[in-house]
Structure 1
Amino acid sequence: MNLNVIQLVQSVLTDDVVRQLAARLGLPPEAAQKALASTAPALVAGLMHKGATLEGARSLFATILSPEVDAHVGEHLPQLLASASGASELESVGRQMLERGLDRPVDAVSAEVAAQTGAPVHATHAITGIVGATLLGLLKRQFLDGQGNAGQLPALLGQQLHVIAPYLNDRLLGALGVGGLGAFTGSILSQLKAVSAHIDQPTPAARPVPEMFASIQVPPDAVVREGRRSHAWLWWLAALIAAVLAFLFLRGCHGEQAGDRAAARMDTETAAAVQAASVTAAASAVTAATASDTAASTRDAAFATAPVAASSESDASGASDASAAPGKDSQLSFTVNASGKPTLTATVGSEAEKAQMLDELSKRLGPQGFVQNVTVDPAVKPADWLAHLNALLPLMMLPGAEVKVEGARIELSGSAADAKLGWLDKLNSLFGASYQVGTFDVEHAVANAAEDFHSAVKGLLAPNSTCAAADIAKVLNVQVINFPSASARVPNSAVTDLDLSAQVLSACARGDKTVRLEVAGYSDNVGGAQANLQLSKKRAQAVRAYLVMKGVPAGSLIAQGYGAASPVASNDTAGGRFTNRRIEFVAQP
């Protein structure tokens, strides 16, 4: 039995049910959701602790299957919460069953949730009872539908550790009488595994034959006893194999000459593709056009040139179908709000992949458990990360988590990058060596961009270099000007790059080849639109003023701010927002 209990609870505690519960308790929906997000993982931890002994697992299983636990609580929740008496009865039964199952009062848990979330104690007491009734009822339904037994309970509980761990802390576990977080996470799995190995696990009853096989009529003479089985089929099999081998041999003889011609043509095409890819890669440093490329590392720049190389290969081979082959990486990014609800943005290559993704998320998070914006682009490569979507689901419930997946690269930021939670190591283990998992680091991104810019600008500083505005704008856009938050002062980290930019523009002006550029400022989507617009304009003006101060003709530069318009990356992650907070140089007529 494989089950994510937290997702199961969230699937029935929909936004409408949470609003209904919040109104019943006199809380804002956000406060109720925050208390729910803390209570459910804590109660699951309590069940794990109880199930970590043979006697405790059997007792807990009996409690779950007791008549007082409603296996259809998910369907009954809206009706029960619609009346004061129904909500009170649900709370009372839930608290009673929890105390029987955990063998301890649960007031300490609800009091600690109140202290950590700021919700009133009377509200967290009620929420604890209602979540407890829901949790036990859903578990009962799963065991009844799957004909489960007590031996499966410890293994099922052990599956929940990676899901609930990010929500636990020493004080919550102390209220459960479990001990510290480190001791709990370090020992509970081995204890549950030992119980699962020793508890009675009866052989499940045979299940009915599925309907799809019921229509198949088996002739009475089709069933042959082992002792009477003929071996004639072996002779037929040997004859069939001999015939297949003869066919392949003859086909190989006739096709050898054609194969040689095809191999020769493949060698020619490969050589052309390699040559085209080499030319493209050599030119990429000079022709980088967007700040998103500059914020990436040298490794990411290599990924960025792959579509160009693929296009060159298609041109070299002259194959019309190859030129239409997908060349862009599929993408997924998401950010999780304070109540644990993710907003996802994704680009995949087919409607089938989109349907697969949304179906899986709906099953795991519930149809109302996430906000999505998934687009289909036939130019996008297959989304291999869809096979690993389960590994990302716990992060989709972690408040403050930010994750970006692009092809085989995964970038963590927000709470997902918190070293104490260990998600970097977990994802490296779950995804394997074919994926590159890392956390976003602003200083590293700025340093990489500066290194790329210094390499690219050398060509513009050489004698007789081009003063074509479009070419210069492409190179100047390799640099990153990382303004401090809410500031329009040119940062010290950008001074060297801007000095080099001024040298290039001043040299062209002295040679009567003045380059006219717009200095365009952009922001991310954090904050008010009007404030972002004004800040982006001030930053553009600051860059223009610095270049003029360094000798660039004032009439050759104009400054304009565009706020959060025209993002070049998703604002769901720190890396994306960093890329969108940019200065762009645009060639003017």
Structure 2
Amino acid sequence: MSFDLLSAVKGLFTGDVVSQAAARLGESETGIQKAISSIVPTILTGLLHKAGPQGDATSALAMAREAVGANTPSVISGALQQNANGWLNKGTEWLQGLFGNKVAAVTTAVASFAGIKASSAGTLLNAATPAALGVAGEHAADQGLNAAGFLTFLNTQQDNILSAVPPGFNLAGLLGLGSLGELGKKLSGMADNIGARVQGSPVETTRQVAGSNRWIWSLLLILVAIVLLWYLARGCGGGNITDDVATDSIAAASPNAVDPLIAPVDNAEVAIPRESIKVTLPDGVTLNAYKGGIEDQLVQFLKDDSRPAGKDVWFDFDNLNFKSGGSELTEDSREQVQHIAAILKAFPKAKIKIGGYTDRTGDSLANVQLSRARADAVLSSLQGMQVDADQLLGAEGYGAQFAKAPAGAPDEERKKDRRISISVREK
């Protein structure tokens, strides 16, 4: 019997795994089961796309090989319960490798389809990605497949996978395709080309290999000559040659500057002086702020009748910090929260929601919980400053759901994902 990749991955999500996931995420088993039914073909479609139309079968195979070991029910359960062996972190990174900046849209589609929270959908995606890739990687290892063979194998699986994608997901659109059928045609065409090359003339193949070898030897000789010249130049220069050493300004900064889990948006520009300005509110109150900071942006937005409010309108705090590992605001952060309270009092029609975000490192469920706790802390502070309750529409923690940088990216990139934001829903 031929190998069925889709069925093999689905088989990992046993009744026990579904029950444990439901208990861990606070969802119904029906919702979890429905989410898995959409997640598995979605991940595998992403793999088809990466190996085929994206033309990156080598990276696709490398991801699958690295994921071998994650493809057992017990490992999935361990990842969901306590991020065992860091599989959730790896899943986050690989998911971005498959879908790029469309991960949030995929997460939203799964949540909507299954009727579960977006945070739960994100955790399931992070856990299922290593498992799905691991099944493909194990099969590739068993069959001794190289990148070309892996692409050919995936082509044999495409019909089952693509037909299992739930209708209405618009997965083709997220991948930049007109339809999933277009993905299938491109994949088949690439696989056919590989087959044609394999069946080519033995004489011509020998001639090409021989030519390639001569080219490689020429390149090696050039590289050896370059290294030799560099070595001689270093030797002749003696101690007069000074190596430039780049200084990392972030690493040299005060260790007490920020909590590494959620940092202000503008920390990447800490070394650049910011321009201080006065922001005057309609009621005559004047705030000491920074040009381009949240006070400046928020007041300009609220004054501009041509710019509508909505759930997609967000402004990031730029001077907000928490005590390390917790949700308690530092004393110096209260000033910016007070500014927001003053702005809301000056614009009584404005209604806002608070959102908390983290980067992709750490346990995804813990990140959601911490981001929610910190968003709640800001909301509570605003409530304590006598802001009209009707203007505060609540707080939500999104964890790493909308993070852009992969878990393995330098902190300089990841810290932009750690933030607290305000969404203006009415003005």
TM-score by length of 2: 0.41
- Give 1 or 2 for the bigger CA radius of gyration: 1
